[in-house]
Amino acid sequence: MKRLLRRFSFWLLIGFILAGIWGPSLFDMNAETQVASPFSKPLWIGKDSPPAMTFTLTPKTRAAQFQWVYPAPPNIAIWGTVELNKPSSASLVWETPDGDRIEIARNEDLPSFNVDIDGRDMSFKTSLGLSPFDNPMEKLFPSKGKYTLRMSPDDLDIRSGAIHVRIEGARWGLLGTDQRGRDVFHLFLLGIRVSLLVGICATILATLLGVSVGLVAGYAGGMVDTILMRLVDILLAIPGLPILMVLAGIWGKGLWQLIVILSIFSWMGTARTIRSLTLSLRESAFVEGLRALGARPSYIMYRHLLPESLPILLANIALGVPSAILAEAGLSFLGLSDPRIISWGRMLNEAHGFGAFTTGAWWLILPPGVGISLICLVFLDLGRTLEEMADPRLRGGGKR
């Protein structure tokens, strides 16, 4: 046990599990919402790419000033309502470093000043004097320097309200955004849940199946054994990914269907191992003794043979999880999983389908891929450690 605790991969796995369970709650919004412009780079690279910026104009602060040393951002959104004490005309003025003053919103004698601007709106573009095909951002951000947005006139009688401004950057977060503007890091954390859930459940199910078949086949022998082993041969002869694809395509792409399908086609290896173990143990002295005492086969199988196989079984489980995770990732990548569920395979599917590599958006490709690989490596390492722990005991004849 101590040996297990000393391994780095064990702690990495714990880290992944914790991150998967609690990580997403660090974010106060749903992962599906758009947080920034699509294909934003991570914050820590591309320092010459515009970051996102938000600020608010309130009754107290009627102007906002900021430095802008980047190229024009992808988009800007300005929204909000300001209640006036008496109807009057008001406007929002945008001042550029070059000295231009652009009026971007106007209110004519209404009791409240309502603003709802998105940089892509045609009405906005025309109000700036542009055609529907021009980029208003170039006009708003012509050069680097100090920019100001202010409510005008300065003595406007405001009762309450606020105007929010969001400049969409081309940079966001730890790992940027995907083609829908979703935070990749958030998606990555959610992906942990799916991989671990599918991997572990499918493997446990497959192990239960495999152990049952193996025990029965090994202990009963004869015709039962032959039939079961023929079944194993037949299932092994069916090409793996194609049958998974066909089943997923026909039956359904849901998460639980996936788990069941995966387990149906991965129990065979365990069955064989358990069967040979049972065959060798069946002839051993203590089993003969149990039989002489009148123990029923099911008792012998589940109360004695099973515990003997436990160490090897644990190792098999740990080694089987990577293949389940890879299979799930593969099916998701091919598009044969529930599109509403965020998994690493699906992230790679979208990266491929929406041309991540033509835009060089490596942050869409590396995180999910590295995630899958790391988790598989972790389980492989743990499996090998468990095998080592199991082996000397078995070789030495077990605890008896």
Q: Does 351 bind other proteins (CB under 8 A)?
A: yes
Tokens (6 digits) for 234: 């037949």
- Residues 104, 336, 382, 390: which binds other proteins (CB under 8 A)? 336
Q: Does 53 bind other proteins (CB under 8 A)?
A: no
Q: Does 352 bind other proteins (CB under 8 A)?
A: yes
Decide if 258 contacts 198 (C-beta within 8 A): yes
Whose Cβ is closer to other proteins: residue 52's or residue 232's? 232
Q: Does 382 bind other proteins (CB under 8 A)?
A: no
Decide if 261 contacts 205 (C-beta within 8 A): no
Q: Does 4 bind other proteins (CB under 8 A)?
A: no
Q: Does 233 bind other proteins (CB under 8 A)?
A: yes
Whose Cβ is closer to other proteins: residue 6's or residue 230's? 230
Q: Does 366 bind other proteins (CB under 8 A)?
A: yes
Whose Cβ is closer to other proteins: residue 366's or residue 394's? 366
We find the least distance from the C-beta atom of residue 27 to other proteins, in angstroms, to be: 25
Q: Does 12 bind other proteins (CB under 8 A)?
A: no
Q: Does 200 bind other proteins (CB under 8 A)?
A: no
Q: Quick check: helix, strand or coil at residue 134?
A: coil
Contacts of residue 199, defined as CB under 8 A and 6 or more positions apart, other chains included, come to 321, 322, 324, 325, 328, 375, 379
- Residues 249, 289, 307, 339: which binds other proteins (CB under 8 A)? 249
Contacts of residue 169, defined as CB under 8 A and 6 or more positions apart, other chains included, come to 36, 37, 40, 49, 50, 51, 52, 53, 73, 74
Decide if 181 contacts 36 (C-beta within 8 A): yes
Q: Does 246 bind other proteins (CB under 8 A)?
A: yes
Q: Which amino acid is at 70?
A: Y
- Residues 1, 5, 237, 292: which binds other proteins (CB under 8 A)? 237
Distances (CA, A) of 63 to 56, 304, 312: 9, 79, 70
Decide if 49 contacts 190 (C-beta within 8 A): no
Q: Does 314 bind other proteins (CB under 8 A)?
A: no
Q: Does 347 bind other proteins (CB under 8 A)?
A: no
Tokens (6 digits) for 212: 């049952």
Shortest CA distance to 104 belongs to which of 86, 130, 83? 130
We find the least distance from the C-beta atom of residue 386 to other proteins, in angstroms, to be: 16
Shortest CA distance to 328 belongs to which of 316, 317, 341, 313? 341
Q: Does 224 bind other proteins (CB under 8 A)?
A: no
Whose Cβ is closer to other proteins: residue 145's or residue 360's? 360
Cα(17)–Cα(22) distance, rounded to whole angstroms?
9
Cα(168)–Cα(172) distance, rounded to whole angstroms?
9
We find the least distance from the C-beta atom of residue 363 to other proteins, in angstroms, to be: 11
Cα(258)–Cα(346) distance, rounded to whole angstroms?
14
Whose Cβ is closer to other proteins: residue 9's or residue 37's? 9
Q: Quick check: helix, strand or coil at residue 243?
A: helix
- Residues 62, 345, 382, 385: which binds other proteins (CB under 8 A)? 345
The secondary structure element, H or E, covering residue 69 is none
Whose Cβ is closer to other proteins: residue 57's or residue 331's? 331
Binding mask 100-119 for other proteins (x = CB under 8 A): --------------------
Contacts to other proteins by CB under 8 A? 230, 233-234, 237-243, 245-250, 322, 326, 329-330, 333-336, 345, 348, 351-352, 356-358, 360, 362, 365-366, 368-370, 372-373, 376-377, 380
